[in-house]
Structure 1
Amino acid sequence: MTKRAIDAIRGALAERRLVWFGIRGEDGEALLQIPELEASYSIIAPLRSGRLREESNVALEQISRRRPDLDRYDIDLDPHPSAREFSARLMREVSGRCVMMTYRPSRLISELAFSMSDTMTLAGLFKDRQQAFEYKPWVETALAARGILGLDWRYVADQHLGRAQRMVAGGRPHILRASRTSGGVGIALAETEADVERLWRQDPDSFVAVAPFLDPTVPINFSGVVFDDGSVRLHPASVQLIGIPSCTQRRFGYCGNDFSAIKTLGDDVLAQVDAMGRAIGEWLHEERYRGVFGVDALVDGGAVRFVEINARFQGSSAPSAEIAHALDVPDLFLDHLNAALGGQPTDSGQTIAEWTASQPDLAHVVLHNTTGADLVRDPDVPLSPRSRGVRLAQLPEAGVPLADGAAICRVTLDRSVTESGFALDEPAERLVADLRRAFVSA
């Protein structure tokens, strides 16, 4: 089945080179299946492949000699010479006939697509169009009108802060959230009236979304791809790892995904996830969205509640593709590229329940710098996990400082690591502690 998808993509490429632009180059590993892939540009973690020429496999951190916190970094706002050099190299790369595929749109890529339109075709949406789908109040309101169960957000103006304080006055914690967030940045938990005033954000929107904090819940994530004919192919679901203190300093920070733990949630929950994904894909198609999307949700008792759409690839995308490869079915990278080039799905796809029943055990954990200061790898401490079935990725080069909040590495394991999504089991915690010993203050 994978071969049919690759053949369709190669036909649509029409002998044009394929260029990958990711926030992490390694996320594009699935694209190595396509012979036309000739270049990878990224913010961190260049794509691991001897097939690409060194000058066409570039990460900004190699030029700047620093790894940023990706949840706060935006290349469109970076004034440093290293960012300008990176952009100039990318412009030279697309001066020949090519198709560019991105992890997420940016102003830089939109500008290249317009200014280099004689040679470069963008396989995806322009930033200004995609950005609408990152605006959570619009998305939540539209999906609620279609009957999709959400979190009962209330949008409170800055001038009405007292209204939010009254919501927590009864002792029930509430979530405060900005209209655009990433990786847990822009989300806070208010347990008292004083917390509300301390945490209130002054955003350009002049309002904050407020909702009751639901506990206990299980955070989940899945992906899909919308095609031009309205078809929606869904991809594996996982229990999302959120706010684990050994991995992130953020209360709701993203720490990875457990594709094994999803198997414990039951058939009814999986059916709800599937129905939600297809309904969201249908709405996206009506709004002229094409390509990959991700969904975060919460399992609250027996109900699945929508949290947010990620109108792009996600941190779960690379392991999701690994699962698809193991089953010889098209992964979401192939599906996205096919959809973005105007193609149709090469098969009918699988339900969430079918994915869950067949997918191998797999989890990945993302470690972040939680020290409040820059870290570097200690060359005298070996990075060799003692456990079998453990693989490391996205490691920085020796001597490259990691900013506070930056990703240290990603650990992939051939087993489950969590039950709740908010804590790791003991072997995984020991592994995280061992890996942290290899990083010291810069």
Structure 2
Amino acid sequence: MITSCDEAVARLRAVPGLSCCPRPLFALPLLRSGCVAEVLSVEGPDAGWAGEFGPGGSGPGGSGARFHALEPHSLVRDNTSLGAGVDEVLRRIATTGGAGGGWRGRTLALLPYTAMKAEWRAALEALGTRLVEPPPMPAMPVLGDKRVQRAWLRSTGAVTPPDAVVPALDHRELRRRFGGRYVVQAPLGSGGKGTHLVSGEDGLPPIRRAGGGPWLVSGYVEGPAVNLHVLVSADGTVRLLRPSVQLTRVEGVGAPFGAYSGCDFAAPALLAPLPLARADSMARRVGEALAALGYRGLFGADFVLDGDRPVLLELNCRMQGSTWLLGEVESAEGALPSALRHMLELYGHVTGGEGRTDAAGAAQLVVRHSGPTARVAGAPGGGLHRLKDGRLRHCGAGFGLLECGPDDCVLLQLPSPGMVVRPGVPLARIVARRSLTTPDGTALTEGGRRLVRALRAGFTLEALEPALPC
């Protein structure tokens, strides 16, 4: 059983790691510990990351990681999926001398953010790279298709919203069954993609045009959104980790309904304890049911607290957009980061030690582009900042929570000058040790408003006419 950071890092560094993720930020716990040699992503690394975590960097990464991303070449930030982005990155590597660029003859261990696609595996083989992968888990349709998952969750005793799987979207019938507001979801999708709140007939045509049916339609549940991290060990042990409040419907950050806007690990301490305790029990039962199916590693459980009743919406059976931040908190405490535990469990190495479930001062807020397609003419610099006289002042290098003081914030995920940004894409991610939103995660605090206002003032965006095709 692996219980120490040193033992975990030594095990993971035994074979250089490969991470395929939407943005390098999600691999930060692995980068800080020097477990990653190659990163394939859609978004590029922030300024300074290659110097800190790359070959010859000052971080503890040994030989360091090489970053291969779509955005620095396309100079467009849009809603490119992870699959399409990594496909293009691998094609670019293959057509620009990848065989002679340090890939041929190498062995890399997959450190998966999500499942490895067959075409990625074939592309790596064509480059002459041998890929070591975790032992496969049994096929579990409950992990992917939201329609199948919802019914399975009820079979474990979980409380879920009223729902129906429908082949066609008839507003009159759906309003009769679910009331004036209801949620329509495509079978697949993460980060809020394919999730729509409907309150009138005019909300349905765009969903129908996007396709993806039959759809899962659910009654809308009002209340704080809470996410629980749960770890299922290779020996079947289920451990609950820190909860966070998910930031939703936050005015002023440019997020449509369902889009991921960040999280707050301190806010659960300000919510009623009874529904949180009930959510813990429900998540543990679901974890035990997943363990019985052969699942291992992290998963996230998304709840809405409807008074004293937690309602389970869905599972995210992978690392999540908040896992990296949880890892920052754990690293500061000297604990084994959950991201590393996830990788070890996938490979069958049981990790020990109960995770802490108390509140922690750690929050992230995603601020999105709310205008038409535009070119970035000027942008704030990434790294450590402090708000002074209504402006963000750069204070030095910063890669996550570990560099952040109580009065600071770190800016991440910034588009570079010259990049084209589509409507709704992230302009920045603000990371802080203090809450930026109200305890229920639905409104900015006064401090949060000042930060967002100062952040937007730091951008110069030139609208493109006519707009580029999506």
Fold match by TM threshold 0.5: yes
Report sequence identity in percent: 23
Q: Determine the structure 1 residue equivalent to 2:428.
A: 409
Matched, 1:121 2:139: no
Matched, 1:430 2:431: no
Shift, 1:104, TM fit = 1.9
Bigger shift: residues 366-375 or 198-207 = 198-207
The question of whether the paired residues in 2 share the 8 Å contact of 1:222 and 1:236 is answered with yes
Match of 2:260 among 241, 254, 258: 254
Shift, 1:68, TM fit = 2.5
The question of whether the paired residues in 2 share the 8 Å contact of 1:375 and 1:439 is answered with no
Match of 2:78 among 68, 76, 82: 68
User: Distance between the aligned counterparts of 1:68 and 1:130, measured in 2?
Assistant: 31
Q: Determine the structure 2 residue equivalent to 1:182.
A: 190
Counterpart AA for 1:134: G
Shift, 1:162, TM fit = 4.7
The 1:133/1:203 distance shift into structure 2, 3 A limit, reads farther
Q: Deviations over 1:4-38 (max 9, x none)?
A: 2441452365x311222221112212113544432
Q: Determine the structure 2 residue equivalent to 1:191.
A: 199
Task: Please give the TM-score of this superposition, normalised by the length of structure 1.
Answer: 0.85
Q: Determine the structure 1 residue equivalent to 2:378.
A: 378
For 2:321, what is the secondary structure of its paired residue?
A: coil
Q: Deviations over 1:342-386 (max 9, x none)?
A: 101222x13xxx522xx431211011111121341515x667441
For 1:201, what is the secondary structure of its paired residue?
A: helix
Q: Deviations over 1:87-135 (max 9, x none)?
A: 6659964741221212222524444577789721124769x95775121
Q: Deviations over 1:219-239 (max 9, x none)?
A: 111222222211223322111
Q: Deviations over 1:58-78 (max 9, x none)?
A: 222122222223xxx225346
User: Distance between the aligned counterparts of 1:46 and 1:416, measured in 2?
Assistant: 25
Matched, 1:212 2:222: no
User: Distance between the aligned counterparts of 2:105 and 2:175, measured in 1?
Assistant: 55
Matched, 1:305 2:325: no
Q: Determine the structure 1 residue equivalent to 2:394.
A: none
For 2:31, what is the secondary structure of its paired residue?
A: helix
The question of whether the paired residues in 1 share the 8 Å contact of 2:40 and 2:89 is answered with no
Match of 2:91 among 76, 84, 89: 84
User: Distance between the aligned counterparts of 2:426 and 2:209, measured in 1?
Assistant: 27
Q: Please give the residue correspondences for 1:2-401 in structure 2 after superposition, counting only pairs within 5 Å.
A: 4-8=4-8, 10-11=10-11, 15-46=14-45, 48-49=49-50, 50-53=52-55, 56-69=66-79, 73-77=80-84, 84-86=91-93, 89=98, 93=103, 95-107=105-117, 108-111=119-122, 119-123=130-134, 133-158=143-168, 162-167=172-177, 172-192=180-200, 194-195=201-202, 197-198=204-205, 200-201=207-208, 206-215=213-222, 217-347=223-353, 349-350=354-355, 354-356=356-358, 359-376=359-376, 378=378, 384-386=385-387, 388-401=407-420
Give the structure, 1 or 2, with the largest relative contact order (CA under 8 Å, sep 6 or more): 1
The question of whether the paired residues in 1 share the 8 Å contact of 2:245 and 2:441 is answered with yes
User: Distance between the aligned counterparts of 1:428 and 1:58, measured in 2?
Assistant: 33
Structure 1 residue runs of 5 or longer lacking an equivalent are none
Counterpart AA for 1:392: L
Shift, 1:51, TM fit = 4.0
The question of whether the paired residues in 2 share the 8 Å contact of 1:30 and 1:318 is answered with yes
User: Distance between the aligned counterparts of 1:199 and 1:214, measured in 2?
Assistant: 23
The question of whether the paired residues in 1 share the 8 Å contact of 2:2 and 2:8 is answered with no
Q: Deviations over 1:144-193 (max 9, x none)?
A: 0111011111222217665214336xx6322222222322222222223x
The 1:76/1:172 distance shift into structure 2, 3 A limit, reads closer
User: Distance between the aligned counterparts of 2:274 and 2:65, measured in 1?
Assistant: 50
The 1:18/1:423 distance shift into structure 2, 3 A limit, reads same
Shift, 1:409, TM fit = 1.3
Counterpart AA for 2:323: S
The question of whether the paired residues in 1 share the 8 Å contact of 2:231 and 2:238 is answered with yes
User: Distance between the aligned counterparts of 2:68 and 2:351, measured in 1?
Assistant: 31
The 1:317/1:79 distance shift into structure 2, 3 A limit, reads closer
Counterpart AA for 2:156: R
Q: Deviations over 1:234-271 (max 9, x none)?
A: 32211101132322241222110011111112332332
For 1:257, what is the secondary structure of its paired residue?
A: strand
The question of whether the paired residues in 2 share the 8 Å contact of 1:222 and 1:296 is answered with yes
Bigger shift: residues 386-395 or 89-98 = 89-98
User: Distance between the aligned counterparts of 1:6 and 1:382, measured in 2?
Assistant: 34
User: Distance between the aligned counterparts of 1:121 and 1:129, measured in 2?
Assistant: 20
The question of whether the paired residues in 2 share the 8 Å contact of 1:225 and 1:291 is answered with yes
Counterpart AA for 2:66: S
Task: Please give the TM-score of this superposition, normalised by the length of structure 2.
Answer: 0.81
User: Distance between the aligned counterparts of 1:362 and 1:82, measured in 2?
Assistant: 32
The question of whether the paired residues in 2 share the 8 Å contact of 1:2 and 1:330 is answered with no
The question of whether the paired residues in 2 share the 8 Å contact of 1:2 and 1:329 is answered with no
Backbone CA RMSD of aligned residues: 3.2
The 1:87/1:147 distance shift into structure 2, 3 A limit, reads farther
User: Distance between the aligned counterparts of 1:116 and 1:23, measured in 2?
Assistant: 22
Shift, 1:280, TM fit = 2.0
Q: Determine the structure 1 residue equivalent to 2:459.
A: 439
